[in-house]
Structure 1
Amino acid sequence: MREALAGLSVRGRAFLAAGVTAVVCSIILDQTTLARVGVLLLALTLITVLVLARNRYRLTLVRNVTPQLVAAGQPARVTLTLANDGLAPNGVLLLEDQVPYVLGTRPRFVLEGISQGWRHSVSYQVRSDVRGRFEIGPMSVRVSDPFGLVELGRTFRTTVPLIVTPRTVPLPQIPLGGAWTGSGDNRPRAFAIGSAEDVTVREYRRGDDLRRVHWRSSARVGQLMVRREEQPWQSRATLFLDNRVTAHRGQGIASSLEAAVSVAASVAVHLTHRGFAVRLVTATGEEPGSAWHVRGADLNTGPLLEALAVVAPVQQPRLETGWLTEGAHGGLTVAVFGGVDAADLPVLRRMQHHAGSALAVAVDVDAWIGAAPDDGATRVLAQQGWRAVALRPRDRLDAVWQELGHTSAQTARGAHQQVGS
């Protein structure tokens, strides 16, 4: 009852005040008719408060976001399904869902005819031009009577995440090189030379085909041994993104960092669709949620794009090199850089040394703030053995990627001619 009285709306408080005033004036002026009006106003307000106070409503909410992973600039639809599981009917429902500012205005709905067993669905659309991970909800509900005298508020605590990934651009096919690497059981064994003793075997496991049993090794070891399955090498690529604050210029979605993230996302999708297992490395090291894909994962780019959606600028002067282990030699490395300086040269040389093929897209950070174009980063990368191209605000990424392919092909031809001579 106390909650219902506290939930009196402006109209309800006006009715209550008018009723009290009418009753007092009727006593002073000895007006019976005025007293009846005052009693009617008081009775209407208090009965409404009593009814809502005794109404033990139970509302349930199910919120769905489709899709939960959406590219920047693309819409997603939020569906709210509400049901009344209480034993008594309710009045009018006033709904307001909480959404981050970048997704749009807060949606509001008015639902009437709330009865026992009632169920209803409403939906609205959200869209963001900014990448990131956003929480939709919680939703606040206000129950009102048909006269609008009392409003009781409730808030659902549940939220649903929406991940907005960076914008991507389809990239053309270019020669990459240095792609084939492998380890463990994924590495092929050459049996063209050598004896049968060189066959790689392992212990028999329940369910193994008996036709794979290697009897000579089994007799020597004293237990059943089977031949390992021969599998092709796996194409692996390391995608490096320099997200240091000192390496970029600009603010918000117009910054060079956002351009670099978009480039990295486009390259990630392109490499994955070409059959590469891709891992993402930033200035702070390897991103744990984007490690090598499991072989046969149906070209799922979700983990990579989710990791890129939440990449933030870091206040770190130097690049982390812990991911450059001795066992990481070979394979393709595609890097997206901003500005580079003399302190980065040892890391750049080490990255190029560990890669079977090192390609780089250098975002021209000076051009991103309106200054004169500068190819300094591209020249520095080329001096360290990288095949690099520059990206400026007006450049098309697919054309820049095609230029990188031409650079790679020319470098490969030059190296072949040197070897031939």
Structure 2
Amino acid sequence: MSRVRRGAEEGRTGERTTGERRAEELDAAGERAERPVDSRARFTGRGWAFLAAGALSLLAATWLGRKDVLALALFLGGTPLFAALSLYVVRPRVLLKRTVDPALVTAGDPATVRLRVRHRARRGREVHGAVAVRETVPAALGGDRELEVGADGTPAGYTVRPLARGLWPLGPATVQVADPFGLATELLDASERGVLHVAPAAVPLPEISPDRLREAGAEPSRTGRPAPGPDNVTTREYRHGDPMRRVHWAASARHGQLMVRQEDPRSVRRLSLVLDLDERSWPGERVWAGVLPSTAALEWAVGLTAAVLDHLARRETLVHALDGFGRALPRGGEDDDGAARAVTAVTDEGAEDVRHGLARVRPVPAPRGASLAERVDRERLVHPVLLVSGDLGAGAAERVLAATERAGAGSAVLVIEDGSPPAGAAVLEAAGWTVVLAAPGTDPEDAWAGLGARGPAAAPRRPAAGAGSGSAPAGGPRAADGPGAPDRPGGPGRAADGPQGTGTAPGAGR
């Protein structure tokens, strides 16, 4: 029977989230397998010194025939044995609580992990003194940590700086307890893990001319004719949680309190952002996003999705964020199967929450009963669509077109690793969509700028032997139809120069 009361993260109640259950099931990116802790009591250096002194005293008592030396030998030798026996009889219990500040972390930002230990004896009496804790931490976060944690509730902490998004396991922790005299120790396995949710970083995207976006089919639609401007902007009192960028300083000065801008609902722009999570669209070598299986192409696509969400939310655009199965993208800190899965609309206040939810996405097989067409029809998503996918097949492209046939316009960013356009690219282009091909090493700014080009764009292709200037290295695409390029014959949504009816993405070669 375990001698440890398994501690949970502070403030966490109820059932564990899907991410935490997954963290226990998967192999944490090839990390070493956990080994059971040997919880037998062991003597410390001081305990071995007592035993050695007792043995020498016993020899001296035998040689000298002195009973007082014999009593000293029995005391020195019996004290460590009694200490080890006391650890078995008392059965110490350890309550370990782990907190992460901030709870939702962005890739590249530091986070502080704090451990609190409550050490109690069998009858509930609190045991004072520090305990040694060895925390299991993935190598990508700096490796295991050894801490001295005060048993009186004083926390000890360490800092991690995750460089990639995903779910990163923290723990289990091994706690070393000792008797009051420090003669014997025992290892206790506090095997409850924590999970560090790391959201993808949202890189800044360049501004694109609205005219170019509209021609390329990526201009978010509006719910009414009026455009945002001084004539349809109202103000209201500042509420807790309102972004500071919406503060209307002139109105605040007139009213003597903070006022925020509130756009007329008739001028709200809308866009449907679809992130394809079908495992068939993401072949290639597996990489790990913490404990989540992924690919390099999907990691790039998730980063682009986060950047687009952040970019559009800052520009008063209502984004309907879905996956390729018609499910709403998860929200940060909530279970994947919770009520948030029924919500697709993302405002500027909720964009960060959805971006943190992207920490949990991974390639999955098509779930039963999930349909993008049903979701689009149920919520009447007739707005322009931006699809982010990988090796999109022709059949999958046909399903996307059927589901979004009532949308105003369509654009797609397809992430490719081998340099050849997927079969779905030609299907989308034939339907008038703007298609941008990007490699995992492409800058997201270049792919976004490609949506503003008059013609479709393709990302870098690996140069073949003897290739001329028409091929670009894998590090970045060449500029073909940039925002300032002249019109191409054929109009928007039609193929530009290049093989397979595609050109190269703009903005590379910096």
Common fold: TM-score over 0.5: yes
Change (3 A) 1:326 1:53: closer
- 1:114-263 maps to which residues of 2 (within 5 A)? 118-145=152-179, 148-154=182-188, 160-174=194-208, 175=210, 176-177=213-214, 179-180=220-221, 231-232=265-266, 234-248=268-282, 249-252=284-287, 255-263=296-304
Could you tell me which of 305, 312, 330 is aligned with 2:362?
312
TM-superposed CA distance for 1:181, in Å, is 5.4
- 1:27–1:35: 8 Å Cα contact kept in structure 2? yes
Question: Secondary structure in 2 aligned to 1:123?
Answer: strand
- Equivalent pair of 1:139/1:156 in contact (CA under 8 Å): yes
Deviation, 1:89, is 5.5
- Which deviations, in whole Å up to 9, do the C-alpha atoms of 1:11-54 show, x marking residues without a partner? 47746765775577567656548735532422432464577689
Counterparts of 2:113 and 2:161 in 1: how far apart (Å)? 11
Q: SS in structure 2 opposite 1:35?
A: helix
Q: Summarize the Cα distance change of 1:135–1:364 in structure 2 as closer, same or farther, 3 Å threshold.
A: closer
1:337 partnered with 2:384: no
Q: Secondary structure at the match of 2:108?
A: coil
Alpha-carbon distance, 1:147 to partner:
5.8
TM-score (norm 1): 0.69
Alignment match, 2:338:
none
Deviations 1:131-153 (A, max 9, x none): 22344345443222476421244
> In the TM superposition, what is the alpha-carbon distance from 1:328 to its structure 2 partner?
2.2
Structure 2 CA distance for aligned equivalents of residues 65 and 272 of structure 1: 27
The residue that corresponds to 2:147 in the other structure is: 109
Letter paired with 2:133: L
Deviation at 1:268?
Answer: 1.7
- The 1:20/1:237 distance shift into structure 2, 3 A limit, reads same
Residue 326 of structure 1: CA displacement? 6.1
Identity rate of aligned residues, in percent? 26
Q: Label 1:19 to 1:392 Cα distance change in 2 as closer, same or farther (>3 A).
A: same
Indicate the larger mover: 50-59 or 275-284.
50-59
Match of 2:408 among 352, 356, 375: 356
Shift of 1:315: 3.6
Determine the C-alpha separation between the residues in 1 that align with 2:446 and 2:171: 41
**How far did 1:359 drift?**
1.5
Q: Is the 2:115–2:149 contact (alpha carbons within 8 Å) kept by the matching residues of 1?
A: no
User: 2:454 is matched with which residue?
Assistant: 407
Alignment of 1:7 with 2:41, yes or no, is: yes
Shift, 1:333, TM fit: 1.2
Equivalent position of 2:80 in the other structure: 45
What is the distance in 2 between the residues matched to 1:345 and 1:48? Answer: 71
Distance 1:127 1:247 in 2: 30
Question: How many Å separate the matches in 2 of 1:375 and 1:84?
Answer: 59
Within the candidate set 312, 315, 319, 1:274 is matched to: 315
CA gap 1:146/1:100 in 2 versus in 1, 3 angstroms: same
Stretches of structure 2 that go unaligned for 5 or more consecutive residues are 4-38, 227-263, 289-294, 332-342, 456-482, 493-510
Larger radius of gyration: 1
CA distance in 2, matches of 1:393, 1:133: 21
Q: Is contact 2:58–2:69 with CA below 8 Å preserved after alignment? A: no
Q: Give the conservation status (yes or no) of the 8 Å contact 1:70–1:164.
A: yes
CA contact (8 A) 2:393 2:423 kept: no
Distance 1:327 1:375, change over 3 A: closer
Q: Write the distance in 2 (CA, Å) between the matches of 1:317 and 1:119.
A: 46
Q: Which amino acid aligns with 2:401?
A: R
Partner of 1:388: 435
**How large is the RMSD of aligned CA atoms in angstroms?**
4.2
Q: Equivalent residue for 1:77?
A: 112
Q: Secondary structure of the equivalent of 1:236?
A: strand
SS of the counterpart of 1:385? coil
1:94-135 Cα shifts (integer Å, max 9, x gaps): 1223444543322211357x6xxx452322112333322344
CA distances 1:313-347 after superposition (whole Å, capped 9, x unpaired)? 12449994332326524212111121233323421
Matched positions, count: 357
Does 1:286 find its partner at 2:336?
no
Match of 1:303 among 350, 353, 363: 353
- Counterpart CA distance in 2 for 1:375 and 1:338 is 8
1:397 maps to which residue? 444
Kept in 2, the 8 Å contact 1:95–1:108? The answer is yes
> For residues 139 and 76 of structure 2, what CA distance do their matches in structure 1 show?
42
Return the alpha-carbon distance in structure 2 between the equivalents of residues 255 and 282 of structure 1. Answer: 18
Identify which range, 8-17 or 163-172, moves more after superposition: 8-17
SS of 1:120's partner is: coil
Task: State the distance in 2 between where 1:298 and 1:383 align.
Answer: 34
CA distance in 2, matches of 1:342, 1:390: 15
Which residue in the other structure is 1:365 paired with? 417
On the 8 A contact 1:69/1:164 being kept in 2, the answer is yes
Q: Is the 8 A contact 1:48 1:149 kept in 2?
A: yes
Structure 1 Cα separation of the partners of residues 366 and 344 of structure 2: 25
Q: How far is the alpha carbon of 1:361 from its aligned partner?
A: 0.9
Report the equivalent of 1:212.
none
SS of the aligned residue for 1:365 comes to coil
The amino acid across from 2:269 in the alignment is: S
Q: Deviations over 1:190-235 (max 9, x none)?
A: xxxxxxxxxxxxxxxxxxxxxxxxxxxxxxxxxxxxxxxx943543
TM score, norm. by length of structure 2 = 0.58
Q: Give the conservation status (yes or no) of the 8 Å contact 1:92–1:144.
A: no
- On the 8 A contact 2:454/2:491 being kept in 1, the answer is no
Q: Does the CA contact (< 8 Å) of 2:272 and 2:381 recur in 1?
A: no
**Cα deviation, residue 306, structure 1:** 3.1
SS at match of 1:237: strand
Evaluate the alpha carbon distance shift between residue 251 and residue 127 of structure 1 in structure 2; reply closer, same or farther with a 3 A threshold: same
Q: Structure 1 residues 68, 289: closer, same or farther in 2, change over 3 A?
A: same
Q: Give distance in 2, aligned partners of 1:50 and 1:339.
A: 64
Q: Which amino acid aligns with 1:171?
A: L
Q: 1:89 to 1:164 in 2, by over 3 A?
A: closer
